[in-house]
Amino acid sequence: MPYPYYICTPDMLMKCPELVFYYRNVALLSQKVMRGVGLETQSFEELGVTPSEPIARELTRYFNRITSELLLHGDITPHRHVVMLAANMGDSLGGTSRNEVGRVAMMRLIHPLLRHLHRQQRLASVTYSLKGAIVADEDETQATTMDRAQLAIADATDIDELLSGFEESRVLYHELQATNGSRLIVNSQLNWHTGTGETHRISPDLYSHVGTTDLFWAGALKGGADPAGSDEHWKTATETLDRILRATEATGRPRPKLSFIATVLVDRVAQGAQSWIEQGKLSSVYNLTQMYENPAEMSRFLNDMTEFLGYGPQAISE
């Protein structure tokens, strides 16, 4: 086969940095893996930044070693390089789409809460980052992104205008702070240690700190549903919540209230969630789709979340 289909040289990557994208995918590597090994490739692939000669040598050495092993253990066909490229791109796009489903679900969950807290004058600040629009406007050369930033919220803040801008720029939420000092944390891993040095890693999708409590409330948000009624998302959620229960017991922390939030709640998952409620493991279950269709369900969620932020039991009000 033509040599450049699989094996690259440093001068090739320096002459055409975008080729880093091609050879990375032929080697079946993701950008996340490249960051993990200390060879960030995003600027070369997306911005055309020319890698230095030492970096180009490291990239070619890494790509060529992996690609050579793949070729040695597989048959060579006229279009093997295309298959390798397409397979890795497809896997990456699948992961990206799943991440986007989760981000949109979280945004749809957080936005009503932001409006609710702002209306009650209980929202102090929002910490977020922007992923940028998928498609740039005609007068923009590229989508606008923003690193993590904290925005103070005043009573006069136009919350609807703010959230509209967040939606357009694909917001990723990190923290909401209430006026009483409580915090709602989004997608952040916690490491708890026992007296014997054992580490428990827990990763709730959302959790709240109220006062000096280690963890007052935690929730698992899972998106999507199998039309056949698969409980895959429920299994993932229960694994997350079970780790929290085990970690609190092992480290002697107060047991937090736990919630399961589904974008779509199929029968089998609803039955499993009901069983957990009866066992005393779950304090509440929410159906995001139903919340948007039924004002009473949305009110239940908003009032519960206000309570989870330490404001005491709330009266249900549409």
Whether residue 144 is predicted with pLDDT greater than 70 in this model: the reply is: no
**pLDDT tens column, 48-84:** 899 999 999 999 999 999 999 998 888 788 888 989 9
Whether residue 300 is predicted with pLDDT greater than 60 in this model: the reply is: yes
Mean pLDDT of 138-157: 77
pLDDT score, position 9: 94
Give percent of the chain above pLDDT 90. Answer: 60
Whether residue 2 is predicted with pLDDT greater than 60 in this model: the reply is: no
Grade residue 268 by pLDDT with cuts at 50, 70 and 90.
Answer: confident
Grade residue 46 by pLDDT with cuts at 50, 70 and 90.
Answer: confident
What kind of architecture, by CATH, is found in domain 97-311?
Answer: 3-Layer(aba) Sandwich (3.40)
* Residue count (the chain): 318
Confidence (pTM): 0.75
**pLDDT tens column, 97-125:** 778 888 999 999 999 999 999 999 999 99
pLDDT score, position 141: 47
Whether residue 318 is predicted with pLDDT greater than 80 in this model: the reply is: no
pLDDT score, position 136: 58
Each domain of the chain, given as residue ranges in start order, spans: 3-76, 97-311
Whether residue 227 is predicted with pLDDT greater than 90 in this model: the reply is: no
Whether residue 139 is predicted with pLDDT greater than 50 in this model: the reply is: yes
Whether residue 145 is predicted with pLDDT greater than 90 in this model: the reply is: no
